[in-house]
Amino acid sequence: MAREFKLPDVGEGVAEGEIVSWLVSEGDTVSEDQPVAEVETDKAVVEVPAPVNGTVRKLHYDAGDVVPVGEVIVTFDVEGEAAEATEPEEEATEEPESASKSATEKASTRTFAPPSVRRLARELDVDLDSVEGTGPSGRVTESDVRAAAEGHATEPQEEPPDEVRSAVEPVGEQAADHTEGGAGGQESAGREKTLAAPATRGLAKELGVDIDDVPATEERDGEAFVTAEAVQEYAEGGTAAQGEPTTGAPEQAFVEGGETTQPYRGVRRSIGEQMAESKYTAPHVTHHDTAVIDDLVETRAKLKERAAEQDVKLTYLPFVMKAVVAGLKEYPILNSELREEEEEIALKQDYNIGVAVATDHGLMVPVVKHVDQKSILDIAEEVNELAAKARDRSISREEMQGGTFTITNFGAVGGEYATPIINYPETAILGLGGIDERPVAEDGEVRAAQTLPLSLSIDHRVIDGAEAARFTNYVMERLTDPELLLLE
């Protein structure tokens, strides 16, 4: 008997998901709870398990399709029950020897890659299963795919179908130009086969150039090889142009750049919606200050080697998190949530610090729970683990929930001050600028000191500017004199 399986709500209130990849094929035998698809929601990539033991009769969507929750994505023939009769056409086209390897074998050997990398692989016509991943846990990165695409450039390209060739071959007067001498009067090569990278062929298509007419820049495996620069030069009639010299400066030719698009959905759309809700709900005010942290730099340098002996990478962030928790205990209003419908402000007694992590899919905020109950090294180890999970998309929803205050370290990329957007419904977020040596005036003298710029954004409906300033001063005091953290 046929059993339809609908896309479940794989998260809290998720409305749709993108089929990143199928882990089974039609005709495969599956067991209950075996993963059949990878689905990207607005939070993460999750595996969707089979609800029954049976055989995959039909996959209703292709990889890359966005499917509303509740839509049928797979039809199974349930084991032990009579399967419904299939259409004659389907029976006629079904080959006995076409049965693929089991889904269990696929699950154990499948390639792990985020959705953006899978889309890039499809665009560059790269088989992901043939690419060796260099990312965390063997994940395939964009660099791996691009490297594989360049590696394929030396392979002979099959002759494209007529409808594709018609899109790249010049027509009308342009075709005559190429036949009689090429762009700008250049000699047309007129080859039957040309080796080129996929990106080069794409450029030729955009410029209306037949790549077989472009003079080759080198030879590979006995065949002519053409670069993107050669295609551009040929299209513009550049320095290699043949024919009679002209008088006066030649007119410069410009090529329109065009545009590319990428989907605004999944994690990226979720980030955008969250940012918009926060910005247009909570009136933001940002308080800026700078902490002098010479002693913190020295302390961290002393402890760094000992941390490394325990296989822990020690950054400044765990010290900042401890200082922030000390400040939240002293000024609990910054560890709060405004519940407008209930007309109340909830002061949180857990100290769960979110850490903004930049990933290929946008900013993600894993949460370190109960920071007040953990040591500096415990915090460092957990931050490193959560950040790695966020970047390779293996992080769970639970690991990104329950935050009461957030820290974002934009200084790791560059910059001193910013206006970070609050991670709503929290009421405050602390931004860290780049640690650097800057001039500091002390006792009438100016000296060079290690400093850390701070940018604290608050929800002004809940937190007053004076409280924000006092909180920042309290945090700065502990960063300037890290021995005070021993009292926390």
Active site residues: 460
Spatial CB neighbours of 309, under 8 Å, sequence gap ≥ 6: none
Instruction: Render the burial of 257-269: b for 16+ CB within 10 Å, e for the rest.
Output: eeeeeeeebbbbe
Contact (CB, 8 A) for 322 and 315: no
User: How far is 297 from 302, CA to CA, in rounded Å?
Assistant: 9
Residue 211: name the closest of 222, 221, 225, 220 by CA: 225
- The sign of the torsion formed by the CA atoms of 159, 160, 163, 165 equals negative
Q: Could you give the C-alpha distances from 250 to 232, 236, 253, 271, in angstroms and in order?
A: 17, 11, 9, 50
CB hemisphere CA count around 336 (13 angstroms): 19
Report whether 214 contacts 194 (CB < 8 A): yes
Q: Which two tokens stand for residue 1?
A: 């008997």
Instruction: Residue 32: name the closest of 5, 53, 54, 47 by CA.
Output: 53
Using DSSP, state whether 92 is helix, strand or coil: helix
Intra-chain end-to-end CA distance of the chain, in Å: 64
Q: Is the distance from CB of 64 to CB of 291 less than 8 angstroms?
A: no
Asked if residues 409 and 430 have their Cβ atoms less than 8 Å apart, the reply is: no
Contact 121, 144 (CB under 8 A): no
- Structural tokens at position 400: 């990104």
- Of 87, 432, 397, which Cα lies nearest the Cα of 290? 432
C-alpha count within 13 angstroms, C-beta hemisphere, residue 26: 15
The token pair at 427 is 């009421």
CA distances from 227 to 157, 231, 256 (A): 15, 7, 19
